[in-house]
Each structure stands twice: as structure tokens, then as C-alpha cells.
Copies of this chain bind each other. A is one copy, B any other.
């Protein structure tokens, strides 16, 4: 199977490397709006970097579009008529973004957060698939099964929900880590001291539901502690608002 990857960011990089390792799969071309990035990734996996989307190999079986959501629609227009299967990797973009542009198309959405510097094993990553034809779905399924033991067929509506939930569980969570760091930094304390706590907080919900393991002053309705915390945040109004909003939200989950 010959694959073209459109994109050279976090998702594209990890997918290109993982896919290229599968027997009988070859990632042949990489395109990126930064040719430098395309060159670098292509170099890593012995593929060809292309500068122009018109140069896409028309014999490729799959063109995987792993770029920013808001660039997908415009990029599709530039490869209209591609004869293989075209799929994007986005949680938020519906399948019908491809309507009228291609014969076979689909979605290949790995529900994970990727950083370029950090290796990641696809084995545990849920991969959510969708396609407009059975053949297309089967092709994506064969590929996904070789990467991960958790492959799901999920339609655009449900995928949008999953993506939204992921924003809460991942993007917002990481931002809370950043706010914690901001609190520490303002008082000459190092983020390192929180790392074991962060690990354990994530570990706790691997075998339990988060509602069942909530701790802290808000769930105890410990008004005195919350009042002290609010006083500490007096000069950081943005943090104070978030503190109050989330504490109120936790209190509502008290039995």
C-alpha cells in the first residue's frame, strides 16, 4: 500500500512514522505548507517531499490529510480528483467536507495528544474511523488494526462529541497544569513538585470514574479553605474567576 501524507505537524509526523513501519506499507510522499518540515519528515522515513500538491502520486492508495482543521477544506480543493482514498485525521471536521470532491473518502482520527519530541505507542490509542464506502472503511480498518488494538467505527456526530470531551480531558487539563505552574512561579516554587501528583491524578481514573474519586476543598464544601485560596488569588483576577467557576461546578456534584 502506498500512502501520501499531507502535513508534517505533530499528528502527521507520528502517523507517518508509525504507518511506514507496517509491512507492505510505504509512505511515499510528504507535503507540508512548510517545505522545510516536509523535507525533514520525508528524510526521516525515506520518503519524497513534494512542494506542490499537484505533484501527488496518483497511484497512491491513500492520501492522509493531517493538518490544522481550518486548512482542510481549502487543501482538499487542491487535490480534487485524486483517485485513491482520501482521509483526514481530524476529530472536529465531518466526513461530508469531502462531498463531491472524491469518489472514496474517510476519516482516520487517533484520539491522542501528540508532541513532536515525545515518542508515542499507537497500540493503546483509540482510532476512530468513518468512510463513505465499505471498501474505504475496510482499507482504513486494516491499517488501523495494525497500529492499535482499539479501533472504532464512529460517525461524524459522535466523533465531534469525542473531540469536545477530549478538549476537556486533555487541552483544558493541560491548561490547568499551566495555571498551577503560574501560581507556583509567582511564589518562586518549581513545577517539579507537582509532577507526581499529576501522574497519580491521571492514574486514579484509569480504573475508576472521576466523579467517584474527586478530592479537594470544593467536594468537601470546605468553605474556609476555599476562602483562603480566593484571598491568595486576589491579585490574579483571571485565576480567581477560574477557581470560583470550577469550585462551584465541583460543589454541584456533591451528593
Q: Which residues of A contact B (CB under 8 A)?
A: 10, 68-70, 92, 111-115, 117-118, 120, 124-126, 150, 152, 158, 160-181, 183-184, 187, 189, 191, 193-211, 213-220, 222-225, 228-229, 232-233, 238, 241-243, 245-246, 249-250, 252-253
CB <8 Å contact, A171 and B242: no
| CA of A253 to CA of B181, assembled, Å | 13
A-B contact pairs, 26 of them (CB 8 A): A69-B217, A113-B200, A113-B215, A115-B204, A115-B208, A115-B213, A117-B208, A160-B232, A161-B232, A162-B189, A162-B193, A164-B232, A167-B217, A167-B229, A168-B176, A168-B183, A169-B176, A170-B197, A170-B198, A175-B210, A175-B218, A175-B250, A178-B253, A180-B210, A195-B205, A199-B203
CB <8 Å contact, B177 and A205: yes
| CA of A184 to CA of B219, assembled, Å | 22
Could you say which residues of chain B place their CB within 8 Å of the CB of A216?
Answer: 167, 170-172, 174
CB <8 Å contact, B246 and A175: yes
Could you say which residues of chain B place their CB within 8 Å of the CB of A124?
Answer: 196
CB <8 Å contact, A181 and B241: no
CB <8 Å contact, B125 and A204: no
Could you say which residues of chain B place their CB within 8 Å of the CB of A232?
Answer: 160-161, 164
| CA of A125 to CA of B192, assembled, Å | 11
- Further pairs besides A115-B204, A126-B196, A161-B187: 17, Cβ < 8 Å: A69-B217, A70-B222, A70-B223, A118-B203, A160-B232, A163-B229, A164-B232, A168-B177, A171-B216, A171-B250, A172-B246, A174-B215, A175-B250, A179-B249, A195-B206, A198-B202, A202-B202
Could you say which residues of chain B place their CB within 8 Å of the CB of A160?
Answer: 228, 232
